[in-house]
Amino acid sequence: MLGWTPTLLVGASMALHGAAAAGAVAAPEAWPWWLGAVAANHFVLGAVGMRPRSQLLGPNLSRLPQSTGQGCVALTFDDGPDPAVTPAVLDLLDRHGARASFFCIGARAAAHPELVRDIVRRGHGVENHTHTHPRLFACYLPGAKRRELLRAQAAITAAAGRAPRYIRAPMGLRSPLLDPAMAGLPLRYASWTRRGLDGISTRPDQVLRRLTQGLAAGDVLLLHDGRCARTRDGVPVVLEVLPALLEHLASRGLRAVALPSAADEACER
CB half-sphere exposure, 232, CA atoms < 13 A: 1
> Could you say which of 78, 179, 198, 225 is catalytic?
78
Asked if residues 255 and 72 have their Cβ atoms less than 8 Å apart, the reply is yes
Other CB atoms within a 10 A radius of the CB of residue 142 amount to 17
Asked if residues 122 and 89 have their Cβ atoms less than 8 Å apart, the reply is no
Asked if residues 100 and 75 have their Cβ atoms less than 8 Å apart, the reply is yes
Catalytic (active site) residue 118: no
Asked if residues 178 and 58 have their Cβ atoms less than 8 Å apart, the reply is yes
> Could you say which of 112, 129, 133, 224 is catalytic?
224
Asked if residues 38 and 16 have their Cβ atoms less than 8 Å apart, the reply is yes
Catalytic (active site) residue 264: no
- 3-class secondary-structure state, position 21: helix
The DSSP bridge pattern shows strands 72-80 and 188-189 to be unpaired
DSSP letters spanning 169-227: -GGG---TTHHHHHTTSS-EEB--SEE--TTT---HHHHHHHHHTT--TTBEEEEESSS
List the catalytic residues.
78, 224
